[in-house]
Amino acid sequence: AQSVTQPDIHITVSEGASLELRCNYSYGATPYLFWYVQSPGQGLQLLLKYFSGDTLVQGIKGFEAEFKRSQSSFNLRKPSVHWSDAAEYFCAVGATGNYGGSQGNLIFGKGTKLSVKP
C-alpha cells in the first residue's frame, strides 16, 4: 500500500535561514508527488508537484523540491525562509490509474509544522 512519511513533526528555523523538509514515500511505480502548505484555519494550497521529467521542480513562494527515486524521497527546500512561511507542510503521493477503485485521490503525510524565529 502507498504511504508517505514526514519524519519531522515540528521544525523551527530562523528567518533568512535555509529550509529542508523531508518526505519519503512508498509506492512501486513512478509516483505523482505533491507538496501542500496549510496556514492556520485555512485549506491546503499546492506549492509544487512532480509528475515526470526534470527531478528538480520549482514551485510558488520560492520553494523547490527534488525527486530522488533511489531514496524514495521528495524533499522540499527553500534557500531563505520568511516569517510568512510559518505554516504546516504536507507531502502527498497519488497513484497512476486506479487506486482502490478510485482515481485522483492523494495519500498525505502527517505534516511538518514550521515555525520561524525572528
Partner 1 sequence: ETGVTQTPRHLVMGMTNKKSLKCEQHLGHNAMYWYKQSAKKPLELMFVYNFKEQTENNSVPSRFSPECPNSSHLFLHLHTLQPEDSALYLCASSQVTGGVGELFFGEGSRLTVL
Residues that bind partner 1 (CB under 8 A): 4, 32, 34, 36, 41-46, 49, 51, 90, 94-97, 100-111
What b/e string do you get for 37-68 counting C-beta neighbours within 10 Å, with b at 16 or more?
beeeeeebeebbbbeeeeeebebeeebbbbbe
For partner 1, the closer CB: 70 or 102 = 102
Closest distance to partner 1 from the beta carbon of 105 (Å) = 5
Closest distance to partner 1 from the beta carbon of 95 (Å) = 6
For partner 1, the closer CB: 1 or 118 = 1
Closest distance to partner 1 from the beta carbon of 117 (Å) = 24
